[in-house]
Amino acid sequence: MTVHLLKEHQQCHVPSLKRILIVEDNDINRMLLSDYLSYSGYNVQSLATGSFFFIKIQQFKPDLILLDLKLPDIDGYSLLQQIKQQQDFTKIPVIVVSGFAFKSDQERAVDLGACGYFVKPVNLNKLLGKISEELVIRNM
């Protein structure tokens, strides 16, 4: 099934290696997202916790962040709020990828600055489309 998804989306290949930071504690989800986005032409790095989040942002300088809300060491909402409060990071688009399916969770994330919200299990084609859209918007 993953191969089928990859073949369908090859035309969405991004010519310049845009950097995406994935913050996801589930190993399988993190690896799947990382592999899929790498195959789609992105430079991807990931974290399993929020502990070194801001250090990683400063080092990697991501063009976009995929953020899980339920992390073992910090609330994803707190990270989202901190990102949007720091001048150097406020322009980095953040797409939430979470198991929280309630509308109130989505509204809270958007209110805190998320530009998108996907509920797990994620439709990879739709996620890739949203990522491409956000990166195009930010480069205008």
pLDDT at 7 over 70: no
Contact status, residue 68 vs residue 24, Cβ threshold 8 Å: yes
On whether the CB atoms of residues 130 and 10 are closer than 8 A, the answer is no
List, in sequence order, every residue forming a beta bridge with 75; answer none if it has no partner.
70
Residue 46's nearest CA partner among 62, 61, 32, 30 is 30
| Domain boundaries of the chain, sorted by first residue | 2-138
* Amino acid 138: pLDDT: 76
Query: Does the structure show a pLDDT above 90 at 137?
Result: no
Other Cβ atoms closer than 10 A to 8: 12
Phi then psi for residue 2, to 5 deg, are -60, -40
Give the CATH architecture of domain 2-138: 3-Layer(aba) Sandwich (3.40)
pLDDT per position as a tens digit, 31-45: 999 999 999 999 999
